[in-house]
Amino acid sequence: MIKEHQPMIISLNELGSHTDMKSIQHVLLSYDIIKAESTNKHGGALVAIDKCIRCVPINLNQPNIAAAIITLNDSTYTITSIYSPSNTPLPLKTMSLLLTYSNYTILLGDFNANHIDWGCSTTNPKGAQLLKWINDNNLIIHNTNMSTSLRSSNTIDLIISNQQRDSIDCTLLSYTCSDHFSIFIEFSNILFQCKYEISIPKTYWNVFQAVLNTIHEHIDELYTNIHDEFSIFLQFQNLLHALKSRVTVWSIQNQLQSTLPPFIRILLKYKHYLQNRYRKTKLENDSLDLRLWSKINKQEILNYKARQWTSFLSKLASSNPKTFCNHVKLLNKKPQKGFSGITDDDNMNIYKTPASILSYFQQHFENRFASPNLDISNKTDIDANDLWQRLITVKNDNSIQEHIKYSDLTFTIQDLHSIIKSLANK
């Protein structure tokens, strides 16, 4: 039944006290299970929610009621499975409490409440109480006149919610594994998408540059009357950020494109299945299958990477210059890293605000390019400083050679060229 219909949520009643949690988990491997114990050997309730759906169990500490809050498309829903034995009153107080957890409520279960309004031949006291509670809370029964029992023509299994009547379609399934028919429910107004969505920006930098070229004269005139350099920096930073946002278009990609081929994704999916199965059973055979399949996956991934690398090298060896350039630029592509702050030279302080970062940069470069200290006790420093002061006033190479010839420092033009060449950036 699960394999054929692939339900996202399963509600079960009357599991009995002999059905342990381990057996249920073995069958419902890909579901999160919320189970409520029973007050007798035939009771109990269970809600199983697909692991693709984010859910939070509701701890009611009450038998025969299992509930959870799920989130779909930024909306929250309260899903509740209820079993009310025929000899006990309806848990109306708890049911009213469940209505407060979210704006949307779905109640599923066997209430043992008969009423002619939903297709029963007679009306019992529980049916009258349930109808009044439904009307008081503006709820709807979606499977009226649907015989859900194999022993009678009554409708005792109910689907109750505050959704629109036309948005829910209920169908009886032809499975007779108990004395109740199974019901398949489709919510047309609740769209479930188990896909990842990602927003991809595209910035038109040519438009960005054209706008800056157009307004740069106006910006220069505007900033001439502002003497606070940091204020100018902040305003210009905000301008660039706003302009970039204006020329950026965002598009939604419904599904992330996997970097692995389909056959490896199939192998990994089956490995996850084996992992879940071993977590539930703890059997040695399942452990052996998992270890064997993990080794197969690892070897297939290594082989795939080797084939990809061989293909990449063959493209680099191509005689077509365009093919070579398109592939060699992949080697120079550096990953982007988020910028959160900058540390000082001693790694003691972290500067995160624009003002502190700008102040640190100013201090750093002022110290880096400051004039060297002159030692007046060192004759070489004094002679070099005097020669430098004379050299900065000359206008041609002949004058430089003339000053060097009469200097106390002994070096040649070739020595100067060698020193300057050694100072070039590596």
**Alpha-helical runs (H) found in 201-261:** 205-223, 229-246
The answer to whether the beta carbons of residues 155 and 123 sit under 8 Å apart is: no
| Two structure tokens written together for 138 | 């503006």
More confident residue, 295 or 387: 295
SS3 for 92? Answer: helix
- How crowded is residue 327: how many other Cβ atoms within 10 Å of its Cβ? 17
Asked: is 2-187 a CATH 3.30.70.20 domain? The reply is no
pLDDT tens readout for residues 153-206: 788 889 999 888 777 888 888 776 677 888 888 887 776 655 555 567 888 988
More confident residue, 241 or 188: 241
* DSSP conformational letter for 64: T
Kindly list the distances between the CA atom of residue 102 and the CA atoms of 73, 75, 96, 231, in Å, as whole numbers in the listed order: 14, 9, 12, 48
Q: Could you give the CA distance from residue 389 to residue 395 in angstroms, rounded to a whole number?
A: 13
Kindly list the distances between the CA atom of residue 114 and the CA atoms of 50, 92, 160, 253, 298, in Å, as whole numbers in the listed order: 32, 16, 14, 50, 59
**Average pLDDT of the chain?**
81
The answer to whether the beta carbons of residues 276 and 289 sit under 8 Å apart is: no
List b or e across 155-184, with b for residues whose CB sees 16 or more CB atoms inside 10 angstroms.
bbbbbbbebeeeebeeeeeeeeeeebbbbe
- The pLDDT of 322-332, averaged and rounded, is 75
Residue 425 has pLDDT above 60, yes or no: no
pLDDT tens readout for residues 23-68: 787 778 788 898 888 877 778 889 999 888 888 888 888 888 999 9
The pTM of this model reads 0.49
Quick one: pLDDT band at residue 426, thresholds 50, 70, 90?
Answer: very low
Most confident option among 8-12, 216-220, 221-225, 403-407: 8-12
- The pLDDT of 207-230, averaged and rounded, is 84
